């Protein structure tokens, strides 16, 4: 069994050009990377000091052993870098994998492999070097935690402003209005306000006002008494009652009807409501946080939203920027989603390749953070290990990156026309399945239904829900 | 008693979960009564653990395994014999004769 350092002094060239084995060993031991070599039978022929430190296995234990029984690498079976180098003669450079050390700890490493040849250029084995990335990973985590505030992630100036505002808003107990496009994280902000407030021990109750018709919304919000209407065979508490002492989050407030706006105004003004089927007013001690994906001020000017209600809800206003206006947050969000999916699914995806990151950075995200989350989940499912590559991203993503779009054509289209085109395309791709199309666009189904109606999009005869 | 060995090419897989193949052997009074190889178990280690639990595996024999995975297996009532290496047949023989290292 001979290692690379043994070959170091056995060449035909003069000793001046070759180093002696002992010196070679000293050099290898001084390198801040684990290095080991294998012969053609995959048995270890060299194991340096850093390899001992990272794996927790001494050189004496390792020498002569089958490499995979010593270096417990996550790529030992599928797509093994060492085997790839030996088979093709090509090196593998900086591939992210993990090792399991003697104590069962996961060690993230970056590996590089290459074939070893003797003086006659005959392949005699392979070398693998690996750098311990534990500290890098730890620093990344610490960095991410610095930019995370109550589950909201961002390092952009606009998000830092939101972070600064949150504790002040939470303390005040006034009604808060959160404005932002679909998928910008309005509910997360509402939850953060609740969690940071003195009401945090009491319930947080969320309801999407846009998803329910008027009559259902009223009974959901205020509850009903037995016999209030056909089918009311028992008393049912409303969301206001369930949120008593805590916070109620009314999402998509702009979508409620004028009649419902009047009822909401009374609750906001007098802090009382009536349960359906009862004439006794109920006093409510609930902090109200509302959200809208449209500008309420604009809706007031258009006469679509009551001005007095607007002034009631617009006590404190938080505006969430769309993701395309805070692209600096995209890598942080990707890291966060990968970390979460790895934990949930028991996988070990290390990150995103530069090519895939470039595609992700250039997309405009009409569905905002929710769309990014869906894209990362899609790629996560398709990627079995290592890094997410461009091929793991949804195929439509590359097709809609700005570089691929005919800018001249886009430039002549109105925002409404572009929106209509995106929705029509998504519906066609999903064979008319509206829920699937909403998922693809990264918007809530109720938002999609509303847009289909307002943009007068023709739907296919079948709704596609039964498509296989 | 049902034993599952995370294996690849007739050897114990060096890292639990890096192979999707499991050899499941049924032992009664130390004698092998059946064996079956399953090649494509779970897309992730968590799914593999769920599969092992569902198939009422008593003991998993594997190479290196992360502490968190060991905890998940133990929480599912599955015993773990880790850091085992070598040929599956030799390992099984050693397990039956209680001479496994």
- Phi-psi region for residue A84, left (φ > 0), alpha (ψ -120 to 50) or beta? alpha
pLDDT tens digits for range B33-83: 999 999 888 777 778 888 999 999 999 999 999 888 898 899 889 999 999
Would the pTM count as exceeding 0.80? no
Closest CA to A177 of A107, A112, A303, A268: A268
3-state secondary structure of A332: helix
Q: How confident is the model at residue A103 (pLDDT cuts 50, 70, 90)?
A: confident
Look up residue A133 and give its two tokens. 């990335």
CB–CB contacts below 8 A, A to B = 63
B87 touches chain A (CB under 8 A): no
pLDDT tens digits for range A121-145: 899 999 999 999 888 888 877 777 7
Say how far apart CA B29 and CA B40 lie, in whole Å.
Answer: 29
pLDDT tens digits for range A354-375: 788 888 988 889 999 999 999 9
Mutate to test the interface with A, among B11, B66, B67, B86 (most CBs of A within 10 A): B66
CB contact under 8 A, B15 and A346: no
Chain A residues close to B69, C-beta within 8 Å: 346
Query: Of B47 and A254, which is predicted with more confidence?
Result: A254
**Reported ipTM exceeds the 0.85 cut:** no
A16's CB contacts (< 8 A; 6+ apart) are: none
Which residue in B has a C-alpha nearest to residue A71's C-alpha? B14
Question: What is the pLDDT at residue A451?
Answer: 85
Q: Bridge partners of A319?
A: A179
Contact in structure between A393 and A425 (CB atoms under 8 Å): no
Which residue in B has a C-alpha nearest to residue A75's C-alpha? B18
Which residue in A has a C-alpha nearest to residue B7's C-alpha? A77
Question: What is the pLDDT at residue A250?
Answer: 94
Assess whether pLDDT exceeds 60 at residue A417: yes
Mutate to test the interface with B, among A77, A344, A384 (most CBs of B within 10 A): A77
Nearest-by-Cβ selection for A69 from B46, B68, B85:
B85
pLDDT tens digits for range A159-217: 989 998 998 999 988 999 999 999 999 999 999 999 999 999 999 999 999 888 888 89
CB contact under 8 A, A347 and B47: no
Mean pLDDT of chain A: 84
CB contact under 8 A, A72 and B49: no
Query: Of B45 and B85, which is predicted with more confidence?
Result: B85
CB contact under 8 A, A73 and B15: yes
Question: What is the pLDDT at residue B26?
Answer: 94
Tell me chain B's radius of gyration from C-alpha atoms.
12
Q: What is the largest CA-CA distance in chain A?
A: 105
Question: What is the pLDDT at residue A378?
Answer: 92
Tell me chain A's radius of gyration from C-alpha atoms.
30
* DSSP character string of chain B: -EEEEEEETTEE-SBTTSS--EEEEEEETTEEEEEEEE----SSHHHHHHHHHHTT--EEE-SB--HHHHHHHHHTT-EEE-S--SBHHHHHHHHHTT---
CB contact under 8 A, B65 and A104: yes
B45 touches chain A (CB under 8 A): yes
């Amino acid at each position: 069994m001979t290692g690379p350092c043994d070959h170091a002094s056995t060449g035909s060239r003069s000793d001046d050009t070759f180093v002696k084995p002992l010196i070679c060993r000293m050099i290898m031991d001084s390198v801040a990377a684990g290095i080991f070599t294998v012969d053609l039978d995959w048995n270890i022929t060299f194991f340096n000091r850093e390899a001992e430190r990272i794996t927790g296995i001494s050189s004496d234990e390792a020498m002569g052993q089958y490499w995979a029984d010593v270096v417990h690498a996550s790529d030992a079976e599928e797509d093994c870098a060492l085997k790839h180098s030996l088979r093709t003669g090509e090196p593998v450079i900086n591939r992210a994998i993990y090792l399991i050390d003697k104590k069962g700890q996961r060690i993230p490493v970056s590996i590089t492999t290459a074939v070893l040849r003797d003086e006659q250029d005959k392949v005699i084995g392979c070398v693998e070097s690996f750098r311990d990335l534990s500290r890098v990973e730890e620093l990344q985590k610490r960095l991410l935690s610095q930019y995370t505030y109550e589950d909201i992630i961002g390092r952009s100036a606009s998000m830092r402003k939101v972070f600064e505002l949150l504790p002040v808003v939470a303390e005040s107990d006034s009604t808060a209005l959160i404005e932002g496009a679909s998928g910008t994280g309005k509910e997360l902000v509402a939850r953060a306000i609740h969690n940071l407030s003195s009401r945090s021990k009491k319930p947080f109750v969320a309801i999407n006002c846009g998803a329910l018709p008027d009559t259902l919304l009223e009974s959901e919000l205020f509850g009903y008494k037995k016999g209030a209407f056909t089918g009311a065979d028992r008393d049912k508490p409303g969301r206001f009652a369930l949120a008593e002492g805590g916070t109620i989050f009314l999402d998509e407030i702009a979508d409620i009807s004028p009649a419902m706006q009047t009822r909401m105004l009374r609750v906001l003004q007098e802090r009382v409501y009536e349960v359906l089927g009862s004439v006794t007013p109920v006093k409510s001690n609930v902090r109200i946080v509302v959200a809208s994906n449209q500008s309420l001020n604009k809706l007031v000017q258009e006469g679509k939203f009551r001005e007095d209600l607007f002034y009631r809800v617009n006590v404190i206003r938080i505006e969430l920027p769309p993701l395309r206006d805070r692209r600096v947050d995209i890598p942080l969000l990707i890291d966060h989603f990968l970390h979460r999916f790895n934990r949930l699914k028991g996988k070990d995806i290390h990150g995103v390749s530069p090519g895939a990151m470039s595609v992700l950075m250039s997309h405009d995200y009409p569905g905002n953070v929710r769309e990014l989350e869906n894209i990362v989940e899609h790629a996560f499912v398709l990627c079995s290990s290592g890094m997410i590559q461009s091929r793991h991203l949804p195929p439509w993503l590359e097709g809609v990156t700005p570089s691929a779009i005919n800018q001249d054509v886009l430039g002549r289209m109105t925002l409404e026309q572009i929106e209509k085109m995106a929705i029509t395309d998504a519906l066609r791709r999903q064979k008319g399945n509206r829920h699937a199309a909403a998922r693809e666009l990264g918007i809530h189904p109720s938002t999609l239904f509303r847009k289909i109606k307002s943009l007068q999009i023709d739907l296919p005869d079948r709704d596609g829900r039964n498509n296989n | 008693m049902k034993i599952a060995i995370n294996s690849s090419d007739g050897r114990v897989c060096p890292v639990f979960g890096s192979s999707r193949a499991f050899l499941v052997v049924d032992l009664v009074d130390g004698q092998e009564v059946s064996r079956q190889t399953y090649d494509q178990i779970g897309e992730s280690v968590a799914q593999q653990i769920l599969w092992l639990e569902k198939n009422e595996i008593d003991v998993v024999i594997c190479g290196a395994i992360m502490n968190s995975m060991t905890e998940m297996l133990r929480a599912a009532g599955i015993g773990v014999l880790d850091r085992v290496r070598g040929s599956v047949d030799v390992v099984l023989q050693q397990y039956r004769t209680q001479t496994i290292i």
